[in-house]
Amino acid sequence: MAVTKGDTRRCIVWFGQPAGNERARLTKAGWFIRVAEAGGHGGVGMRNGNTVVALADLRQGDAASIAAMERMMADHPGLPWLSLIAPDMPAQEPSVNRILQASADFFTAPVDLQRLLDSLAQLGGEVPALEPGDVGITGHSQATRAVTASVRKYAPVELPVLITGETGTGKEVAARALHGLSMRSERPFAAINCGALPPNLVQSELFGHERGAFTGANARRIGHFETAAGGTVFLDEVGDLPMDAQTSLLRFLQEGTLERVGSSQSIKLDVRVLAATHVDLEKAVEQGRFREDLYYRLNVLRLHMPALREREDDVVLLAQHFLDAFREQHSTHARAFSSAARQAMRHFAWPGNVRELLNRVQRAAVVAEDALITADDLDLADVPHMLEARTSLGSARVAAERDAVINCLRECRFNISECARRLKVSRVTIYRLCKKHRLALDDLR
């Protein structure tokens, strides 16, 4: 199988059968598609200078062709591989799983063609034409692009996703994006804050109850899970679920069934579960506050939402986005941010993350007197002083540490063991500190 003269420079070797729309979109984007057979002869057909990406299409795959695909991938480890599976394919099945693991990225049919093009562009060494706004997650920093790519990847997979991150980082925004990009998007999305439910009512809120199930249960109540049938349930602060509700949730994840409180009848239900936590769930497991088996069930796919201070490049963009949204609903003089305000926003640590930014921008839009929101309007006028204090305090600490080591070494006549004893640290630490402060012992003596 040789690449003929007319081939373009960007080539996909598609092991399987691309659908008409897939072929059309990729060709339009400038990719030449070569259809190949995993068990066929002649390798993948490469020519120097071509960008070649291989795609393992397992949609029609029987066991023999999956095995052949695995061999083909093993024979060509230097090639970037993508893989494509059917939605009902058992991703845990060892040979399928090995193929997914060996791929740079994988897709579930129906293929999100924009994501496929982005992935191909990345593998071909181009800057991906990613539009994070498409999925409702505003931001263009590296960290946000990585989140968006994971959201696109996880959305079509029918597995739970555990979303972690500090408060206000956009965990619910991500959960909505996962739902909105999934095949369930036309069905309900139910967001439940487990921490806000009274512990004795959690079971009934989530799974419903029958009339007379407990004092005050005057009528049958349908729970959030049943209301979201065919859709997605998002359990925020899942670590706050009481033990009995954890057991019911585990059973639902294992068997796809639930029982209303006060009933022994099992109800079969199709709901995808997404969960979020801002506490360390692993620690809760260690301390026996969260079931380990439930943790493993929820933590199949994991999405981490970075803190806002880790995505400095997003701050001004998000602020303008919130201001524009505010202006659509309210009248305000404010149109944009002064350069001092932009600088203060970029340097602020944002302990409340995106939620705090949203609140400050809305408040500032109300109080602003002019077209440009000032640092003062945002209540961030102190940021430069805070930075200065942090810098000077930091450098004072470093200087004090250096002086303490030098003085002690001199007093101990450069006896490292003695110096370590007096400063109550190990000898290794003294050597490390000397290296850190660039203290050459010979120069000090």
Ligand X SMILES: Nc1ncnc2c1ncn2[C@@H]1O[C@H](COP(=O)(O)OP(=O)(O)OP(=O)(O)O)[C@@H](O)[C@H]1O
Which residues make up the interface to ligand X (CB under 6 A)?
137-139, 165, 167-173, 236, 278, 354-355, 358
In the complex, the smallest distance separating the C-beta of residue 248 from ligand X, rounded to whole angstroms, is: 22
Is the preceding peptide bond at 18 cis, omega within 30 degrees of 0? no
Say if residues 123 and 83 touch (Cβ distance below 8 Å): no
In the complex, the smallest distance separating the C-beta of residue 391 from ligand X, rounded to whole angstroms, is: 29
Q: Which is nearer to ligand X, 177 or 334 (CB)?
A: 177
Say if residues 26 and 18 touch (Cβ distance below 8 Å): yes
In the complex, the smallest distance separating the C-beta of residue 275 from ligand X, rounded to whole angstroms, is: 11
Q: Which is nearer to ligand X, 66 or 181 (CB)?
A: 181
Rounded Cα distance, 363 and 378, in Å: 7
For 291, other C-beta atoms within 10 Å of its C-beta total: 18
- Which residue's Cβ has the minimum distance to ligand X? 170
CA angle 171/232/351 to nearest 5° reads 10
For residue 336, the one-letter residue type is: A
Q: Which is nearer to ligand X, 139 or 160 (CB)?
A: 139
Q: Which is nearer to ligand X, 51 or 232 (CB)?
A: 232
Nearest residue to 1 (alpha-carbon basis) of 61, 103, 70, 76: 76
In the complex, the smallest distance separating the C-beta of residue 159 from ligand X, rounded to whole angstroms, is: 20
For residue 193, the one-letter residue type is: N
What is the signed CA dihedral for 158, 159, 160, 166, rounded to 10 degrees?
-90
Q: Which is nearer to ligand X, 15 or 350 (CB)?
A: 350
In the complex, the smallest distance separating the C-beta of residue 321 from ligand X, rounded to whole angstroms, is: 6
Q: Which is nearer to ligand X, 135 or 420 (CB)?
A: 135
* 3-state secondary structure labels for all residues of 233-253: EEEECHHHCCHHHHHHHHHHH
Mark residue 109 as left, alpha or beta (left: phi above 0; alpha: psi -120 to 50; beta: remaining).
beta
Distances from the Cα of 45 to the Cαs of 29, 151, 264, 369, in angstroms?
Answer: 21, 33, 61, 66
Tokens of 253: 């994840």
Q: Which is nearer to ligand X, 126 or 324 (CB)?
A: 324
Q: Are strands 51-57 and 189-193 parallel, antiparallel or unpaired?
A: unpaired
For residue 100, the one-letter residue type is: L
In the complex, the smallest distance separating the C-beta of residue 354 from ligand X, rounded to whole angstroms, is: 4
Q: Which is nearer to ligand X, 117 or 135 (CB)?
A: 135
In the complex, the smallest distance separating the C-beta of residue 189 from ligand X, rounded to whole angstroms, is: 13
Rounded Cα distance, 361 and 367, in Å: 10
Task: Identify the burial level of 155 via C-beta atoms within 10 angstroms of its C-beta, where 0-12 means exposed, 13-18 middle and 19 or more buried.
Answer: buried
In the complex, the smallest distance separating the C-beta of residue 289 from ligand X, rounded to whole angstroms, is: 18
Q: Which is nearer to ligand X, 137 or 323 (CB)?
A: 137
In the complex, the smallest distance separating the C-beta of residue 278 from ligand X, rounded to whole angstroms, is: 5
In the complex, the smallest distance separating the C-beta of residue 319 from ligand X, rounded to whole angstroms, is: 11
Q: Which is nearer to ligand X, 167 or 185 (CB)?
A: 167
Q: Which is nearer to ligand X, 16 or 239 (CB)?
A: 239
In the complex, the smallest distance separating the C-beta of residue 181 from ligand X, rounded to whole angstroms, is: 15
Distances from the Cα of 213 to the Cαs of 203, 209, 219, 225, 413, in angstroms?
Answer: 11, 6, 9, 18, 80
Nearest residue to 26 (alpha-carbon basis) of 157, 156, 145, 121: 121
Task: Identify the burial level of 73 via C-beta atoms within 10 angstroms of its C-beta, where 0-12 means exposed, 13-18 middle and 19 or more buried.
Answer: buried
